[in-house]
Chains A and B, each alone.
Chain A
């Protein structure tokens, strides 16, 4: 729950109602869906009834195919995102520290940031063929540029005064970087990581749509070849839930433990 929701969810019945209110739009959506199915009786290939989705989901869970696809996608995401974050942070710090170099390469970075991820798919397929390597590359691409530019910006924004101050007290350059520059750049780094992962998640799905033989993106794409809308909708729901979980459980927690705890950003 965001802090706003926690505050709104006060004591008593009204507070409880407010806390539960996020469910309402979903419920309304389900009701509308059920209504459309009941009134218009669309083909199951166009809009399957909710029951069908539930059945399909259940069968995919029980025969393990859903899990296999989730794992395949997650594996690629983890590889791509971790390499992206690590390379982005390391190179971003290095670039940010050397201001003249950073200034020089700025236009290049900006150009590639707009190009990141999905646009690389054809070239990545030409280089790496379809499959895991290509997807991981595309994810890395999406995550890297965002993390890199935000880290570089964060490092550049650390007030000179703080670095100089620590150095007048005798700190070595390395010490300054570790204890002043990097913590100072942390809010921007975290924001970059969060945004980068958002784009990376989308790039994962897009890359799997066109160039993989397993994973969630591939699952929903091949389902469309057979007009299995029920599989597609199940897949989309899973994708949405996973994306949300990734953001809330992983990134939000990380932010809470680091920058929010140290009072560097106002939380939501």
Chain B
């Protein structure tokens, strides 16, 4: 269960989210509410930017260490204009998306098969735990030996990093579905496939989603690490190369983009999915 807890806690600050302002009937107050919400979210960043600017201006810090917020903005604009940023964002997302598809279609079926038998599931738990502790990133050197500095290397590592938590949590989810539900369906004449579809998979869904979110958290970092090492384009490559040329403004621009992308991915895509399933149904405890 620690895996699942880990997922919830790592994904955590979701729970801190305040209630959205209650909907109003008047169009005016609804958009005012949204404006207020946007201001609330942007305010601390504004404070940070001001502090940053003050530090840079008053302490005579060289441009090799810290650049002003304005420099970062201009760097971002330049990168977009030249097309590098958009290209690299696309590349990184492509890799993550492709790896996610492969991981989901491998890990979930395997997890289901392993989870259906409680003894098998229990036997595989330490195995999964061990493999997960050898994080995908640790396999990067081996992938480099096998496939050199290529896209395949990066993909392999992300797939590994995604598959493990997903498979593990799927297995856990299936395992914790109380057998009496399956037995009940069986006694009413359901076929095995039917029981799988209507009992096990819905029952395991919360765990699967949590595993997915955890996997994406790890996978995203593995993506960046892989890109840094393999130098095949992408956001990780961009910030790493920028460091070699000491372009601090580019590094920071890249970091901000990475942070924003992750936020968008997590808050706008993953969290709503989790809210609708896990938030509503809760997670079964073993």
Residues on A facing B (Cβ under 8 Å): 2, 4-5, 8, 18, 21-22, 24-26, 29, 45-46, 102-115, 117-123, 125-127, 146, 149-150, 152-153, 156, 188, 191-192, 194-195, 198-199, 201-203, 205-206, 209-210, 217, 220-221, 223-224, 227, 229, 232-233, 235-237, 239-244, 247, 252, 265-268
Interface flag for B188 (CB, 8 Å): no
Q: Known pairs A110-B13, A194-B5. 19 more at Cβ < 8 A?
A: A4-B122, A107-B42, A108-B45, A110-B263, A111-B260, A119-B224, A119-B255, A127-B65, A149-B12, A149-B16, A191-B6, A191-B8, A192-B12, A209-B141, A210-B240, A223-B141, A232-B145, A243-B135, A244-B133
Docked Cα-Cα span, A217 to B140, in Å, equals 10
Cβ contact within 8 Å between A22 and B127: yes
Cβ contact within 8 Å between B139 and A236: yes
Q: A46-B146, A209-B140 are in contact. Are A149 and B13 (CB under 8 A)?
A: yes
Docked Cα-Cα span, A104 to B42, in Å, equals 10
Cβ contact within 8 Å between A224 and B145: yes
Point out the residues of chain A lying under 8 angstroms from B123, CB to CB. Answer: 21-22, 24-25
Q: Which 7 residue pairs are nearest across A and B when measured between Cβ atoms?
A: A243-B133, A224-B141, A240-B134, A21-B123, A122-B243, A114-B262, A25-B127
Interface majority SS on B: helix, strand, loop or mixed?
A: helix
Interface flag for B252 (CB, 8 Å): yes
Cβ contact within 8 Å between A146 and B44: no
Point out the residues of chain B lying under 8 angstroms from A235, CB to CB. Answer: 138
Which of B15, B138, B267 has its CB near the most chain A CB atoms (within 10 A)? Answer: B138
Cβ contact within 8 Å between A126 and B45: no
Point out the residues of chain B lying under 8 angstroms from A120, CB to CB. Answer: 255
Cβ contact within 8 Å between B243 and A125: yes
Q: A118-B221, A206-B225 are in contact. Are A153 and B263 (CB under 8 A)?
A: no
Which of B40, B221, B258 has its CB near the most chain A CB atoms (within 10 A)? Answer: B221
Name the distance in Å between B81's Cβ and chain A's nearest Cβ.
Answer: 22
- Contact residue among B2, B13, B138 (Cβ-Cβ distance under 8 Å from A268): B2
Interface flag for B101 (CB, 8 Å): no
Interface flag for B159 (CB, 8 Å): no
Cβ contact within 8 Å between B122 and A8: yes
Docked Cα-Cα span, A209 to B133, in Å, equals 16
A-B contacts, 16 of them at CB < 8 A, read A8-B119, A102-B16, A118-B225, A119-B255, A121-B240, A123-B248, A188-B9, A191-B6, A195-B9, A195-B10, A206-B225, A217-B138, A220-B138, A229-B142, A240-B131, A243-B135
